[in-house]
């Protein structure tokens, strides 16, 4: 279980109650073992390798016996890992176990929706359960460390790794990061089916300049503390076992050598005692950044900044010993790093358990049902003209068009090295299963999402003409999102828009289902389609989930965790922006009529596209309609030490059950540091029957209204505030109160 307590210094800290050993015993065991270690053995613990392959080489066995490595990444088969662990425990001098890590990002054998898709569920419990299942499957095969959750705030969909993020908002990302940590780590790290989670990438990697992966980030400290740090603080407070630094240079200093981030904030302000690992070869990449002269200098910078373990590159192994011997790195810094590594291994119970039997993880009925539920809740209905959806199963035929309708690999999305392609159920297969193969006409139209040939258009148009309704699957395939998959344009790739235009000429109603790893720009398609579903990359059971939603067996409940731009030229675009001194009107478009001398219409907008988003943060439709009314505030004034309750009535005005994600926003109207037009401060998923209404309430304290001032102090200031209980970040029932 997790707990919070106040230290004598008055700092709120978090920890994990261990199954076998009280914390004081863990520290005693760590110190006793550390005292027996040579410098070479300590440096070995600080080194992680990818060199362990199948079959287990004799050279690797010898290195394990010598204590050369403390951890392996992406290492061998389950049998190889078990044998390597046996050698480490029984044949090395000190018997220190190995830590096996792997990128278990959104599932292991059972693949769940990409994290951005999971964020669209706004469902803490579901996100926790998905992480728990991923941990169970991974730990069964000897993996006890995952490099997730990735909690970089992402406001630029050009960045490919937006797929791994939890979206643009620090409040939502913090809530779901906490849920993921709980899921991965379980009730106790020492549980054999728990894995150590890793909060990454600390910090600001999601703000990579121009959306280009690995690029620089420039973030003022106020913005860093208000937006980019909160999810990491939430993960730290939930007991996350490890942190990983980013690839980027933050404000001119690589995150891997950034003492302000690692020493001042993480270790100093937050009192974090877990392991900090670099990203893949990020230590030696500081040379190319121009921050370190050579590998020796890079090792010194990383070690003194606070990197406990070097991933893959070998600067620590090659240079730390000589750096210590000549006084460039203090022995105490080495000991502190190794203490953090050993502490994690004790907390995981690796010293106390027997070598586990070789296991094999497989999807089962329970994991597949959970993956289907996650996919169901992640899909966002963006348009449903004249109530075309759900389709009645009495329709004679449907045309299923587009290569993504039947592509297991693309459906799984990025970071699914262990996903089982043969267990994926595609939308085409699911629709055939439910409706019967004779009522489902399939024509891919294109070979891949990037295909520019129109050779398959005729077959697609013919299928559309012979159907009652067209289900057109568009988007981007797996290879177009994820790490190193930045895109300068967010349009539908290849000839997909031309395919849509040709299919539309068949004269049948078209439902577009978009499967993608990021927000795309598809205004022309959405304008002409009758209905649009955004399904992300939905994972193993995405097909049955999409089919059930299309056919009305389930209703969509997903809500956007990130703003969708109208065009790439609007990027970055996000809901929690500042108002500016010349805010635009939503009716403004085109060239201003005034002049610099008479600046009528000179406002913060574009002259060639609306400044508003295509779809706002929090947006999503259902197969029913919800009405917000009767917002009430428990008192007109909030005083220090008190609480305020804000309530509104939510009514289902449609003819069927639906689930609404009720969102709670606040705005500080006047402050010593200008505040965003809205900040998310709460949310709740509410399921209502047709005609049912319910009062939904949120509680505010003065601490919920705090912000960082110009002196970097967290403060609350008196004044007037607006609040909204809303279906998204631009609508809702509004009220006001005063903080005194």
Q: Which two tokens stand for residue 335?
A: 């000991």
Report the 10 Å Cβ neighbour count for 403.
23
Using CB atoms within 10 A of its CB, is residue 713 exposed (0-12), middle (13-18) or buried (19+)?
Answer: exposed
Looking from the CA of 369 toward its CB, the CA atoms found within 13 Å total 3
Extended strands (E) in 460-615 = 469-475, 510-515, 531-534
Residue 688 CA, distance from chain mean position: 28
The catalytic position among 152, 169, 237, 279 is: 279
The DSSP bridge pattern shows strands 310-311 and 380-384 to be unpaired
279 belongs to the catalytic site: yes
Q: Which residues pair with 475 in a beta bridge?
A: 515
Helix 23-36 × helix 331-347 angle, to 10°:
130
| C-beta of residue 475 within 8 angstroms of C-beta of residue 404 | yes
Q: What is the DSSP letter of 10?
A: S
C-beta separation of 240 from 197 below 8 A: yes
Contacts of 515 (CB under 8 A, 6+ apart): 404, 410, 411, 473, 474, 475, 476, 535, 536, 537, 538, 542
Of all helices (H) and strands (E), which one includes residue 89?
Answer: helix 78-91
Q: How far apart are CA 692 and CA 533, in angstroms?
A: 26
Question: CA gyration radius for the chain?
Answer: 27
The count of other CB atoms within 10 Å of the CB of residue 105 is: 24
Interatomic CA distance for residues 724 and 733, integer angstroms = 5
Query: 738 near 720, Cβ under 8 Å?
Result: yes
The kind and range of the H/E element at 628 are: strand 626-633
CA–CA distance, 30 with 18 (Å, rounded to integer): 15
Check residue 510 and report its DSSP letter.
E
Q: Where is 40: in which H helix or E strand?
A: helix 39-45
Kindly give the pairing relationship between strand 714-715 and strand 707-708: antiparallel
Count of positions (residues) in the chain: 740
Whether residue 273 contacts residue 320, with contact meaning beta carbons closer than 8 Å, is answered with no
- CA of residue 696 relative to chain centroid, distance: 27
Report residue 217 CA to chain centroid gap. Answer: 19
Strand residue runs (E) in 414-498: 440-443, 469-475
DSSP β-ladder status, 626-633 and 658-668: unpaired
How far apart are the C-alpha atoms of 548 and 571, rounded to whole Å?
A: 34
Can you point out the beta strands (E) in 17-117? 47-49, 71-73, 99-102
Kindly write down the DSSP assignment for every residue of 349-410, as one continuous string. TTTTSPPPPP------HHHHHHHHHHHHHH-EEEEEGGG-PSPPTTSS-EEEESGGGG-HHH
Token representation of residue 680: 């998310």
Write the DSSP string, 685-707.
Answer: EEEE-TT-EEEEEEEE-GGGG-E
Distance, CA of 321 to CA of 335 (rounded, Å):
13
User: Token pair of 168, please?
Assistant: 């643009």
- Torsions phi, psi of 604, nearest 5? -80, 90
Q: How is residue 252 written in tokens?
A: 């001119």
Q: Which residues are catalytic?
A: 279
């Amino acid at each position: 279980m997790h707990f919070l307590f106040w230290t004598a210094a008055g700092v709120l800290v978090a920890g994990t109650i261990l199954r076998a050993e009280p914390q004081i015993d863990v520290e005693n065991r760590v110190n006793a073992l550390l005292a027996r270690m040579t410098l070479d053995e300590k440096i070995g613990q600080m080194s992680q390798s990818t060199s362990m392959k199948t079959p287990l080489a004799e050279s690797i066995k010898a290195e394990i016996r010598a204590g050369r490595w403390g951890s392996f990444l992406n290492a061998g088969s389950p049998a190889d890992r078990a044998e390597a662990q046996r050698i480490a425990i029984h044949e090395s001098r000190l018997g220190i176990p190995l830590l096996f890590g792997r990128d278990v990002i959104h599932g292991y054998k059972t693949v769940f929706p990409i994290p951005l898709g999971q964020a669209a569920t706004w469902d803490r419990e579901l996100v926790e359960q998905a992480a728990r299942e991923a941990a169970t499957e991974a730990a069964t095969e000897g993996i006890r460390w995952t490099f997730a959750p990735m909690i970089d705030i992402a406001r630029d969909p050009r960045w490919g790794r937006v797929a791994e993020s939890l979206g643009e908002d620090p409040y939502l990302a913090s809530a779901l990061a906490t849920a993921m940590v709980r899921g991965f780590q379980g009730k106790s790290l020492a549980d054999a089916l728990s894995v150590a989670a890793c909060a990454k990438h600390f910090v600001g990697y999601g703000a990579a300049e121009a959306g280009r992966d690995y690029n620089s980030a420039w973030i003022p400290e106020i913005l860093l503390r208000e937006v980019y740090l909160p999810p990491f603080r939430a993960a730290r407070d939930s007991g996350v076992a490890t942190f990983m630094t980013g690839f980027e240079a933050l404000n001119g200093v690589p995150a891997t050598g950034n003492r302000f981030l690692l020493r001042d904030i993480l270790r100093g302000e937050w009192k974090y005692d877990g392991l900090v690992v670099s990203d893949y070869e990020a230590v030696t990449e500081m040379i190319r950044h121009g921050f370190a002269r050579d590998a020796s200098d890079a090792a010194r910078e990383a070690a003194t900044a606070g990197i406990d373990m070097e991933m893959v590159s070998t600067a620590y192994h090659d240079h730390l010993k000589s750096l210590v011997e000549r006084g460039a790195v203090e022995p105490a810094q080495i000991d502190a790093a190794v203490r953090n590594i050993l502490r994690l291994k004790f907390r995981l119970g690796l010293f106390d358990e027997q070598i586990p039997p070789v296991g094999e993880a497989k999807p089962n009925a329970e994991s597949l049902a959970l993956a289907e539920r996650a996919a169901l809740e992640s899909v966002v209905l963006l348009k449903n003209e004249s109530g075309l959806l759900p389709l009645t199963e009495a329709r004679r035929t449907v045309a299923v068009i587009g290569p993504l309708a039947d592509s297991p690999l693309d459906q799984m999305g990025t970071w699914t090295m262990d996903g089982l392609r043969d267990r994926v159920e595609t939308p085409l297969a699911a629709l055939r299963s439910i409706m019967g193969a004779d009522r489902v006409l399939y024509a891919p139209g294109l070979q891949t999402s990037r295909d520019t040939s129109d050779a398959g258009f005729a077959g697609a148009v013919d299928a559309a003409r012979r159907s009652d309704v067209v289900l057109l699957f568009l988007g981007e395939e797996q290879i177009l999102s994820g790490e190193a998959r930045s895109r300068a344009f967010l349009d539908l790739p290849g000839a997909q828009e031309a395919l849509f235009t040709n299919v539309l000429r068949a004269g049948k109603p078209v439902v577009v289902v978009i499967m993608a790893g990021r927000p795309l720009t598809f205004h022309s398609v959405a304008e002409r389609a009758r209905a649009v579903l955004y399904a992300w990359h939905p994972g193993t059971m995405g097909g049955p989930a999409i089919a059930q939603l299309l056919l009305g067996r389930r209703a969509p409940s997903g809500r956007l965790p990130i703003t969708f731009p109208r065009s790439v030229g609007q990027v970055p675009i996000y809901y929690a922006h500042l108002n500016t001194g010349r805010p635009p009107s939503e009716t403004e478009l085109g060239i201003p009529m005034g002049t610099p001398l008479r600046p009528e219409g000179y406002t913060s907008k574009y002259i060639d596209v609306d400044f508003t988003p295509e779809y706002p943060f929090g947006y999503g439709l259902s197969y029913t309609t919800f009405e917000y009314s009767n917002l009430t505030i428990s008192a007109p004034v909030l005083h220090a030490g008190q609480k305020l309750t804000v309530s509104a009535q939510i009514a289902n005005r449609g003819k069927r059950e639906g689930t609404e994600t009720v969102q709670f926003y606040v705005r500080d109207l006047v402050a010593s540091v200008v505040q965003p037009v809205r900040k998310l401060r709460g949310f709740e998923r509410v399921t209502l029957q047709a005609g049912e209404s319910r009062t939904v309430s949120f509680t505010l304290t003065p601490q919920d209204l705090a912000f960082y001032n110009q002196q970097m102090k967290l403060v609350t200031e008196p004044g007037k505030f607006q609040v909204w209980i809303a279906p998204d970040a631009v609508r809702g029932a509004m009220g006001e109160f005063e903080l005194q």
